[in-house]
């Protein structure tokens, strides 16, 4: 009888101290399944994924945006390094090595619904956006 009591006490303390770790692992799993990926949430995906996408650029010109040209869909003000995409979750970080080297971009905005598999880079002026043009390049999802 005494050994059963010891076993119950040990199991109780194991449950008490291991529960947070189990809940953390379960939360990470659920976040990954929902494709909501805070930094380092998906330990099973340690390597960056690469895919070929169409990359364009836009500026805050009124004809290229909605009625709030300096506020992105995330609610943040536009900034260098912000991109728009409909197929990536908000907050996803990517790199475009062929055109921007090691610079990291963050999805903060959305494109028009007619565009799929496209990344739109925010640029300060319309001229810069036009100069960038349309490119099909490799994108690394971090």
Q: Tens-digit pLDDT profile for the chain (142 aa)?
A: 677 777 667 766 666 665 555 555 555 555 555 444 444 445 444 556 899 999 999 988 877 776 778 888 899 999 999 999 999 999 999 999 999 999 999 999 998 888 878 999 999 999 999 999 999 999 999 9
Residues 31 and 97 in one domain: no
Residues 27 and 95 in one domain: no
Residues 83 and 117 in one domain: yes
The pLDDT assigned to 123 comes to 94
Residues 53 and 3 in one domain: no
Q: Which domain holds residue 18?
A: 1-44
Residues 119 and 88 in one domain: yes
Closest residue by Cα to residue 83 from 136, 14, 22, 129: 129
Cα 43 to Cα 95: distance, rounded to the nearest angstrom = 20
The pLDDT assigned to 142 comes to 92
Instruction: Please report, for the domain that includes residue 73, its CATH number.
Output: 2.40.40.10
Cα 136 to Cα 22: distance, rounded to the nearest angstrom = 43
Q: What is the number of structural domains in the chain?
A: 2
The DSSP bridge pattern shows strands 118-122 and 49-58 to be parallel
The pLDDT assigned to 39 comes to 47
Bridge partners (DSSP) of residue 27 are none
The pLDDT assigned to 80 comes to 95
Residues 17 and 74 in one domain: no
28 in Cβ contact with 41 (< 8 Å):
yes
Residues 28 and 78 in one domain: no
Question: Is the overall model pTM greater than 0.95, yes or no?
Answer: no
Residues 69 and 136 in one domain: yes
């Amino acid at each position: 009888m005494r050994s059963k009591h010891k076993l119950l006490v040990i199991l109780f303390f194991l449950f008490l101290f291991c529960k947070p770790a189990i809940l953390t692992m379960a939360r990470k799993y659920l976040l990954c399944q929902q494709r909501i990926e805070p930094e380092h949430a998906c330990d099973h995906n340690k390597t960056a994924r690469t895919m070929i996408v169409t990359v364009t650029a836009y500026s805050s010109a009124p004809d290229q945006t909605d009625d709030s040209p300096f506020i992105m869909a995330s609610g943040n003000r536009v900034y260098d390094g912000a991109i728009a995409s409909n197929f990536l979750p908000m907050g996803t970080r990517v790199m475009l090595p062929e055109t921007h080297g090691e610079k990291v971009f963050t999805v903060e905005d959305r494109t028009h619904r007619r565009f799929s598999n496209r990344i739109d880079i925010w640029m300060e002026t319309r001229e810069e956006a036009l100069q960038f043009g349309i490119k099909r390049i490799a994108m690394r999802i971090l």
